[in-house]
Structure 1
Amino acid sequence: MADYIGDLRKLIGTKPIIMCGANVILLNDQDQILLHHRIDRDWWGLPGGAMELGESLEQTASREVLEEVGLVCGELKLFNVYSGENLYYKYPDGNEVYNVTITYLCNDYSGEIVVDPSEGRDARFFPLDMIPSNLSSTVKEIVEEFRIKYYDLKAQRVI
């Protein structure tokens, strides 16, 4: 698949861009969420990443989960859409982005966790009351909103 963001960066350098992507809150049978420990910063985050040309958001979410943590997603359920100042990010290489992030919920997945060493150090499930404090700045709002809404979502059988 083409590297849309990489090709775009060759043209515009590190200037801010709007980047559309997706991430997934994977929930296990013990009501724990999967977090991915990234290598570019000492931060935990949700598996996810940038959309490539021609992909649907669901395809982006599923591809990124498979690439980053080795799990195959079944049904994805829309959780929320995030954008704005809180999703600004400056990468260690100087590239700046304003993310538009679509977050999905998934408790229908298969496989074993296998972390891609080019992107992560670790991936594991955490209880909702034991989320690491060093969350990625771009997912803090998402994880906090999920923690607040978790019991309502469960009562509605969304998850």
Structure 2
Amino acid sequence: MADYIGDLRKLIGTRPIIMCGANVILLNEKEEILLHHRVDRDWWGLPGGAMELSESLEQTAGREVFEEIGITCGKLKLFNIYSGKELYYKYPDGNEVYNITATYICKDYSGEIMVDLTEGRDAKFFPLNNIPSNLSSPIKGIIEEFILKHRELKV
């Protein structure tokens, strides 16, 4: 598959870009959330990543989950779309992005967790009342919003 962002970076270097992508809140039968422990920083986050040319956001979400953790997503439900200065991120290599992120919820998935060790250290489910404190900065607000809305729906 092409590497749109990599090709773009060859042209513009580390300057800030707008990057569109998707991530997925995977929930198991206990309503625990799957988090992915990244290798580039000691942070937990949601599996997901950048959109490639010609992909839909749903295709991006499914591809990224499969590439990062070996899980195949079934039905995806749009949770929210995030953008703005809160989703600014500077990668350890100096690349800067302003993310536009579509976050999906998925309870319909198959496969066993198999972490791609070039991107992650681990992936596992966490109870919503025991989320690690070292969350990825762009993902922290998304997870906090999900937990708040999840609690409201359970009341």
Give the TM-score range, shorter chain: over 0.9
2:138 aligned partner:
138
1:63 aligned partner:
63
Residue aligned with 1:128, SS:
coil
TM-score w.r.t. structure 2 length?
A: 0.98
Map 1:2-21; keep pairs closer than 5 Å: 2-21=2-21
For residues 14-50 of structure 1, what are the alpha-carbon distances to aligned partners after superposition, in whole Å with 9 as ceiling and x for unaligned? 0000000000000000110000000000000000000
Residue aligned with 1:89, SS:
strand
- The alpha carbon displacement at 1:151 in A equals 3.5
Query: Which letter maps to 2:95?
Result: N
2:49 aligned partner:
49
Identity score, percent: 77
2:29 aligned partner:
29
- The alpha carbon displacement at 1:152 in A equals 4.1
Give the number of equivalent residue pairs: 155
Aligned partners of 1:79, 1:3: CA distance in 2, in Å? 27
Aligned partners of 1:33, 1:121: CA distance in 2, in Å? 17
2:105 counterpart of 1:83:
no
Structure 2 gaps of 5+ residues are none
Distance 1:30 1:67, change over 3 A: same
For residues 61-105 of structure 1, what are the alpha-carbon distances to aligned partners after superposition, in whole Å with 9 as ceiling and x for unaligned? 000000001000000000000000110000000000000000000
Kindly report the root-mean-square deviation, in angstroms, between the aligned alpha carbons of the 2 structures. Answer: 1.0
2:113 aligned partner:
113
Aligned partners of 2:67, 2:154: CA distance in 1, in Å? 28
Residue aligned with 1:139, SS:
helix
- The alpha carbon displacement at 1:154 in A equals 5.7
Distance 1:48 1:99, change over 3 A: same
